[in-house]
Structure 1
Amino acid sequence: MADFIPEDNRLNLKVVFYGPALSGKTTNLMQLHTLLMPQRKGELMVLETRDDRTLFFDMLPIGLKGSDGLDLRLKLYTVPGQVQHDSTRKAVLSRADGIVFVADSQRNQQDNNAMAFGNLEENLDKVGLDIDNLPLVIQFNKRDMAEVVPEEDLQQRWAQTPWSPLQMASALNGTGVVDTFRVLLDRLYTATDQEFQLADRHGIDRQTFVDRLSAEGDGS
């Protein structure tokens, strides 16, 4: 549910990183903050607790200007993975425009992945969003760990879903993080362009949207 503010000619888009506890949601956001061009990002805010890495959310604002002066702002959030923070997860999901679901590739975490995905579907419904119509990318993280489910098995398991193909990542070393983000941006553009005519009215085509918002810097 993109938020357009006419008096400021500003369009705010919200992306939420969701998944089970310690699957790598915060690590994804921290890597994006490191890898993306400095002039296109704001300050990364991280709140940590003893029982989870994120109590409330991390936020990474990224900006893009249209040819007509449209100020397009993309804000990235993560949600806490622990069950006791479910009310916070619902609050952060409210008015989300896109979702990155970060799953854990380790064999012993597959039940947790399934429960977290079911929880995502339930919470989206509770805040008035339809998982089938929302731009969504599924990333299987921690590919560098021992005893992971083979990629072929995962791809086959999800092949008949709207979210195939899956994205593979090792967020701790940055592998697959930007690639996942680019796939999400591509899907987000489709939905946003349909509603706000980004190309026709504002001069922002798909390639510009994806490339500008995911342009990598030197890590400084």
Structure 2
Amino acid sequence: MPEYVPHERKLTLKVVYYGPALSGKTTNLMQLHTLLQPQRKGELMVLETRDDRTLFFDMLPIGLRSESGLELRLKLYTVPGQVQHDSTRKAVLARADGVIFVADSQLAQQDNNANAFENLADNLQKVGIDIEDLPLVVQFNKRDAPGVIEEGELQSRWADTPWSPLCMAAAINGEGVVESFRVLLDRLYPLLDQEFQLAEVEGISSDAFVRQLSMVG
């Protein structure tokens, strides 16, 4: 749910990277932070456990000011994938405006992907969000790993869902990271435009919204 402060002309959005443990959520966020232009990002905050898995969340604030004076900010989070941190995942999902679900492309990880996606739907419902009403991108990461499912098969499996087509990525190399982010922004814009009249009142077109928030260095 967007946070709008009329007297400050400030609109803040929340995007969450979700998925099973070790699928590459943190890698996506760290690569995005590296690739974006300096003026588009704040400090990346990371809290990790001893085994390098995300314990709580990472946050990447991204700012944009329209010609009319509206300040648009995005806060990007990841969640821990481990089962024992479900309460944290649910808390981070609260008031989310969009989600990038990071799945593992390796055949052996498909059950974990399915369980994590079901967990996402359940936790969204618990915080009052219908998964089919939420801008959502499904990214299949680790395309550079051995034993991955062919892209055509994955696209076919998801073809009849609201989240088709899928995004492919090898986040460790930076591949598909910005592209997935841009797809989410593209899916997020129509809802924001309907509620806040971004195009008519603020002069922010869909192309400008996507382009300016995802400019790379």
Give TM class, smaller chain: over 0.9
With normalisation by structure 2, the TM-score equals: 0.98
**Distance in 2 of aligned mates of 1:210 and 1:81:** 28
Other-structure match for 1:161: 161
- Render the CA deviation track for 1:11-50: whole Å, top value 9, x for unaligned: 0000000000000000000000000000110000010013
Other-structure match for 1:120: 120
Structure 2 residue matching 1:199: 3-state secondary structure: coil
CA contact (8 A) 1:22 1:52 kept: no
Structure 1 consecutive aligned stretches of length 4 or more whose deviation exceeds 6 Å = none
Other-structure match for 2:55: 55
Count of aligned positions: 217
Q: How does 1:54-133 map to 2 (within 5 A)?
A: 54-133=54-133
**Distance in 1 of aligned mates of 2:51 and 2:98:** 27
Other-structure match for 1:170: 170
Deviation at 1:6, TM superposition (A): 1.5
Structure 2's unaligned 5+ residue stretches are none
- Render the CA deviation track for 1:54-110: whole Å, top value 9, x for unaligned: 111100111111122111001100000001000000100000000000000001000
Deviation at 1:52, TM superposition (A): 5.8
Other-structure match for 2:17: 17
Structure 1's unaligned 5+ residue stretches are none
Sequence identity, in percent?
Answer: 73
Other-structure match for 2:151: 151
With normalisation by structure 1, the TM-score equals: 0.97
Deviation at 1:7, TM superposition (A): 2.2
Say which is worse superposed, 132-141 or 61-70, in terms of deviation: 61-70
